[in-house]
Amino acid sequence: MTAISITSVIVLMLILARWAARFWLAQLNQRNVLAHGDAIPEAFRGMIDEATYAKSVQYTLAQSRFGQVEMAYDSAVLAVVLFSGVLPWGFRVFTGWLGGSAWAMAGFLILAGVAISLPGFPFEWYDQFRLEERFGFNTTTQRLWWMDRVKGLALAIVLGAPLLALIIKLVEWTGNAWWVWAWGCLMAFQLVMMLLAPVLIMPLFNKFTPLPEGSLRERLLALGRRTGFLARGIQVMDGSKRSRHSNAFFTGFGRFRKIVLFDTLIQQLTEPELEAVLAHEIGHYKKKHIPKMLLWSAVSSLVGLYLVSVLARQAWFYRSFGFEPGSIAPALLLFGLLAGLVTFWFSPLVHLWSRRYEYQADAFAAQTMNEPQSLIGALRKLNEKNLSNLTPHPFYSGFYYSHPTLLERERALLGASH
């Protein structure tokens, strides 16, 4: 077999292996949920009523079964995109029309990304306006849903095209060392976005208003002072215009840091519970989880760009997918499509690291509050309101859950308090 045919076989096997693993994990999780589905498990009695628990089981199963169809569809689309010849055909047409300049190549990459995402739109729409609607979560409108996608596309063009064009020019300017320079530009871009996103980008999608004067605001500001977490302000985001799911986070860094609470979260939790949730988020900051995760992202990006630089020098890599060697653009596109086939298998390790940070942030919140019950109460309500899966299979949660399950977090919190 030639290197080209071997590459094709390996990629097809990776597509099939990932689909089979995801299908098996979904089946495993569904069986585990159904095994506990007839009655509330002993560990959760008293924290959730029968009707809500039954609804959470139905929601989990509906999402899982829908996800299985979507996984099969996505795998088939990826195989068709990679091996039907549509990508090299589109590349030839595009370059024949606009040439091979850096800006033209950036335009090709963005157009290819949009075209590849289009087959998934019906599934996104169905998930939002059928599944989420059926279980009472959807609050968005058709107009808002489509406007979000139009804005996302506009941002991809305005922000993504110059960055991609710069990376492609760096290949011309710096030769084989382009990937190091591209990595530096990418890191600088990410840091600038961390500053600009809260001010310029996020307000394009949501409305942010200062948390009104009152006991909650004073309580949260006092928490910030007590923990040495100073922010420019506390803002409320109108998350309810899209969904009844809720969250809290902080954005920006340095003196530009802002605390953001979903309006749905304020509606669902008591003031001590909201304070505990914010203490958890501050815990991530105090434990330096954010810089560590940014460092991991930086290292991953550096490795990824290096691999692209190596593959871009291999004629067999291009020809395996119907391209002729030469431009860096097809190598960037193909790497973006193929990377997930490999990184999927490392998900449990990444999530293990992430869950460790969640335990640490929980412990910090309990210590800051001098008791774990406020955070436990918040976690219980959030799991109940979001109809979270309370009984996931350990293998499934290992691959898909960046946070520990409710029961795991409660046990850790109560164990630490004794």
Domains of the chain (ranges plus CATH)?
1-34+279-418 (no CATH), 85-205 (no CATH), 206-268 (3.30.2010.10)
Looking at residue 406, its pLDDT comes to 92
Using CA atoms, how far apart are residues 190 and 256, in angstroms rounded to an integer? 15
Looking at residue 345, its pLDDT comes to 97
Residue 144: CB atoms within 10 Å:
12
Residue 235 bridge partners (DSSP): 210, 260
103-126 core/surface letters (b: 16 or more CB in 10 A; e: else)? ebbbbbbbebbeebeeeeeeeeee
User: Is-contact 163 184, C-beta < 8 A?
Assistant: no
pTM value is 0.91
| Nearest CA among 84, 107, 81, 85 for reference residue 95 | 107
| Nearest CA among 134, 155, 152 for reference residue 144 | 152
Amino acid at 110: I
Strands 208-210 and 248-251: unpaired
Distances, alpha carbon 143 to alpha carbons 97, 122, 243, 263, in Å: 34, 15, 15, 21
265-282 core/surface letters (b: 16 or more CB in 10 A; e: else)? bbebbeebbbbbbbbbbb
Looking at residue 255, its pLDDT comes to 61
Q: What is the DSSP letter of 36?
A: T
Torsion sign, CA atoms 383, 387, 391, 394: negative
29-49 core/surface letters (b: 16 or more CB in 10 A; e: else)? bbebbeebbeebeeebeebbe
Torsion sign, CA atoms 51, 56, 57, 63: positive
Among residues 132, 281, 384, 410, the one annotated as catalytic is 281
Walk along the chain (418 residues) and give the pLDDT tens digit of each residue.
576 678 889 999 999 999 999 999 999 999 999 988 777 888 788 778 888 899 999 999 999 999 999 999 999 999 999 999 999 999 999 999 998 899 999 999 999 999 999 999 999 999 999 999 999 899 999 999 999 999 999 999 999 999 999 999 999 999 899 999 999 999 999 989 888 888 888 899 999 999 888 899 999 989 988 998 877 678 899 988 888 887 777 776 666 677 888 888 898 999 999 999 999 999 998 999 989 999 999 999 999 999 999 999 999 999 999 999 989 999 999 999 999 999 999 999 999 999 999 999 999 999 999 999 999 999 999 999 999 999 999 999 999 999 999 999 999 998 765 5
| Nearest CA among 415, 406, 409, 413 for reference residue 40 | 406
Let me know if 362 is a catalytic residue: yes
Looking at residue 256, its pLDDT comes to 63
The values of phi and psi at residue 248, to 5°, are: -145, 150
Looking at residue 4, its pLDDT comes to 67
Among residues 74, 273, 275, 362, the one annotated as catalytic is 362
Looking at residue 252, its pLDDT comes to 66
Let me know if 281 is a catalytic residue: yes
User: Is-contact 284 254, C-beta < 8 A?
Assistant: no
Looking at residue 42, its pLDDT comes to 81
Using CA atoms, how far apart are residues 39 and 271, in angstroms rounded to an integer? 32
Q: Work out the end-to-end distance of the chain between its first and last CA atoms, rounded to an integer number of angstroms.
A: 63
